[in-house]
Every structure is written in C-alpha cells, then in structure tokens.
C-alpha cells in the first residue's frame, strides 16, 4: 500500500532509532524477498571467491525456533543515514552498502526495541501496510527479513504478498539501480513548478491523467490513494486525456497531490499510532484526510453527490461525478 507519505513516515520514525546501532545479523526468512546485488549473502551459492571483507560470514544457515532454515548474513555495519526516493526507503550502511527497501502493496517495517531490565513491554514503531503483525509476536509467518541489532533490538520486514523486497546494493550504485534510475522527480521538486509538471505530462498526451500520474517515471511516489485525492482537489476527471488539460489544471493537480500527501505525512501515514489508537481500538488513517478514496457512496464533501467508484488504468478509482467532469 505504502505510498510516498507512508515511506516518509517510516523514514522519519526510524532514523533516530537506527542510526548508530550495530547490526549483528540480517536474517532472510524468504529468499524471494531479499535481492542480493552485491553477492554477499545470497545469490550464487558457488564457492567462488567473492569480494568484500573477509570478516563477513556469508551464506550461513541458521536454525530458528521454528526449525526452518533461514539464511543469514553476519555483519558489524551500522546504519548511517536513511533516505527516500519515491516509494523506496534506502538505509545506507557504514561499510559502503545500502539496503533498498520497497514495500509494494503489503509490506511493513516494524522496529522492536530491546526489552528493558524490568521486562516492561517495549514500545514499537511500525509503518506500512497495517496488519496484526504490527502488534503481534515477531517474527511471524509474514516476516521476510529481520535485522538483528547488537543491543537486542530488531527491525522486521513483513510482507503478506511477497511483492516487496529488500535489496542489498553498493551505496554508490543506488542511483543506478533499475528501479531508482527510472524515477521521475519528487513531488516537491522545484522543477515541477511553473509548468514543469505540465511539460512532463505532455509527453504522454493520449494517456488518461490518472494513469499518467501513477507512472513513476513522470512523478515519483504517487500511488492510487493520492492520485484520486489530487484529481478530486483539482476538479479533474480521472479519465481525462493528458492532452486536454490546461496548465492551470495541472498546477492545481500538483497542488492537490502535494497537499494530500503533506496531510498524510502530518498524521503519520499508515503507522502504528493510527492502527492502534490510544484506547486500543483499531483506526483507519485514511479517515483522517481522504476526501474520496475508499468513500464510495459517501457524499462528496464539496457538493454532496455520492462518490463513485470506477476502474481506470486497471485500478479502483474514486471520484465525484459532479465536481470532476470529463
């Protein structure tokens, strides 16, 4: 699910928790979820000599409590910075490697601190796809990768559908990564102002506007929720052809995208404190800012017309048929 605001929420929440900690081991519970571009711990199972520090223990099998074989990579590297590009989170490590994390539809990251001396339940930080794994015992059946820190804390990458991944890359190669290299500018990039987005969009004049803003090469980080919200804000029907949009409409669309994402970041995206409210009940963070997304049948906040749901570019699309005309 996680779109830009969720990933940014995670980045902000994790930065102080991870920086300076020392990794003991990265455990890989699901091979498919961990892509090793460096050739350190997975990939070629050959005994051919590989690059890297001789102190690294590679391709080791570890026994878990459950008895499953889990791949592990022992290292002493430390997270030194957390970055975000579009919907990707990048954790740079002290040894020149980086973890490039994409949550796709159902990924989540859960940080579990070490229990204190009194055994008081540790306060977690979690973000991404909201599920019981945010509060349950970890690792669980959805845990794909776990990072164990030397102080006894853990960072879990959980992902029901296994679409997301953690990729190990050289830090200097991050910009050249297949996914990162194709990304368009960040939504707040100045290059999009004063007609910049209009120019980018007009390279695809026949495309439906919703499909165009979901295209990560046009603009990075916009997903289905914020696409619907931004189009609603700008009074633009999602099936309008890009070529029919005026500069003014595109400027409004950019404003709408930015505002809805800023609001979401301000309330903390889909994170633990939205998932579990103070009284222990489960909340839906979308309620805190969404005007149309997942509001099928509800009155339009501007004109009262019931919000409609249609399918555009293969995606569920919510809009107001009165405010957003073809």
CB atoms under 10 Å from CB of 48, counted, come to 7
Among 32, 194, 277, 302, which residue sits at the site for DNA (rule: CB under 7 A)? 32
Task: Give the one residue of 26, 208, 245, 272 binding DNA; rule: CB under 7 A.
Answer: 208
Q: Is 163 in the site for DNA (CB under 7 A)?
A: yes
Q: Which stretch binds DNA (CB under 7 A): 13-21, 41-49, 203-211, 247-255?
A: 203-211
Please identify which of the residues 76, 78, 124, 315 carries the catalytic annotation: 315
- Residue bearing tokens 């853990």: 154
Q: Catalytic residue at 2?
A: yes
In DSSP notation, 50-117 reads -SS-TT-EEEEEEE-TT--EEEEEE----EEEEEEETTEEEEEETTSEEEEEE-TTTEEEEEEPPP-T
Nearer to DNA, 69 or 114 (CB): 69
CB of 204 to DNA, least distance (A): 3
CA geometry: angle at 9 spanning 4 and 15, to 5°? 120
Q: Which of 11, 76, 78, 204 binds DNA (CB under 7 A)?
A: 204
How many Å apart are CA 284 and CA 276, to the nearest integer? 9
User: Count of alpha carbons within 13 Å of 15, Cβ hemisphere only?
Assistant: 11
Whether residue 282 lies in the annotated active site: no
Measured CA distances, 19 to 92, 96, 189, 247 (Å): 10, 15, 26, 43
Contact between 308 and DNA per CB under 7 A: no
Q: What is the dihedral of CA 126, 130, 131, 136, to 10 degrees?
A: 20
Residue with tokens 């970890």: 138
**Does residue 225 bind DNA (CB under 7 A)?**
yes
Active site (annotated) includes residue 5: no
Determine the Cα–Cα distance for residues 195 and 191; give it in Å rounded to an integer: 9
Q: Cis check for the bond before 139: say yes or no (omega within 30 of 0).
A: yes
Q: Which is nearer to DNA, 239 or 259 (CB)?
A: 239
Q: Does 235 bind DNA (CB under 7 A)?
A: no
130-159 binders of DNA (CB under 7 A): 130-131, 141-142
Find the shortest distance in angstroms from Cβ 152 to DNA. 28
Report helix, strand or coil for 206: coil
123 has catalytic annotation: no
Beta-bridge partners for 60: 72
Give the binding range for DNA (CB under 7 A) out of 39-47, 64-72, 75-83, 174-182: 174-182
- Taking the complex as a whole, how short is the minimal distance between the CB of residue 24 and DNA, in angstroms? 28
Query: Which of 116, 123, 178, 279 touches DNA (CB under 7 A)?
Result: 178
CB-nearer residue toward DNA: 92 or 159 = 159
Site string for DNA, 278-307 (x = CB under 7 A): -------xx---------------------
- Reported as type and span, the H/E element at residue 45 is none
Q: Is 218 in the site for DNA (CB under 7 A)?
A: no
Give me the least distance between CB of 47 and DNA, in Å please. 27
Phi and psi at residue 273, in whole multiples of 5°?
A: -70, -15
**Which of 27, 84, 85, 87 does the annotation list as catalytic?**
87
Alpha carbon distance 138, 128 (integer Å): 16
Residues 239-278 that bind DNA (CB under 7 A): 270
CA 267 to chain CA centroid, nearest Å? 16
CB atoms within 10 A of CB 225: 23
Residues annotated catalytic, as ranges? 2-3, 87, 315
Residues that bind DNA (CB under 7 A): 1-3, 6, 32, 86-87, 102, 104-105, 129-131, 141-142, 160-163, 178-179, 182, 203-208, 211, 214, 216, 223-225, 270, 285-286, 313-316
């Amino acid at each position: 699910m996680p779109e830009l605001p969720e990933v940014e929420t995670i980045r902000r929440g994790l930065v102080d928790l991870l920086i300076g900690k020392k990794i003991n081991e990265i455990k890989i519970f699901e091979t498919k979820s961990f892509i090793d571009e460096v050739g350190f711990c997975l990939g070629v199972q050959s005994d051919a000599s590989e690059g890297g520090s001789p102190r690294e223990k590679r391709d080791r099998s570890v026994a878990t409590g459950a008895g499953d074989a889990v791949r592990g990579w022992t290292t002493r590297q430390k997270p030194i910075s957390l970055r975000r590009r579009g919907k990707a989170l990048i954790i740079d490590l002290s040894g020149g490697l980086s973890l490039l994390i994409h949550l796709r539809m159902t990924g989540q990251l859960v940080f579990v601190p070490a229990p204190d001396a009194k055994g008081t339940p540790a306060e977690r930080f979690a973000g991404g796809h909201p599920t019981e794994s945010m509060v349950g015992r970890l690792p669980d059946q959805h845990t794909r990768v776990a990072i164990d820190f030397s102080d006894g804390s853990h960072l879990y990458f959980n992902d029901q559908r296994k679409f997301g991944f953690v990729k190990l890359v050289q830090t200097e190669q991050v910009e050249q990564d297949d996914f990162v290299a194709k990304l368009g500018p960040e939504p707040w990039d100045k290059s999009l102002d004063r007609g910049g987005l209009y120019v980018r969009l007009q390279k695809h004049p026949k495309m439906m506007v919703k499909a165009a803003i979901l295209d990560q090469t046009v603009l990075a980080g916009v997903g289905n929720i914020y696409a619907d919200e931004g189009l609603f804000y700008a009074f633009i029907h999602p099936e309008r052809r890009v070529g029919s949009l005026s500069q003014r409409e595109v400027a409004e669309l950019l404003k709408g995208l930015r505002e809805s994402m800023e609001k979401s970041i301000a309330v903390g995206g889909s994170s633990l404190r939205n998932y579990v409210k103070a009284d222990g009940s489960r909340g839906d963070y979308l309620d805190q800012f969404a005007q149309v997304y997942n509001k099928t049948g509800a009155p339009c906040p501007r004109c009262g017309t019931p919000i409609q749901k249609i399918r555009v570019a293969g995606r569920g699309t919510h809009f107001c048929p009165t405010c957003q005309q073809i």
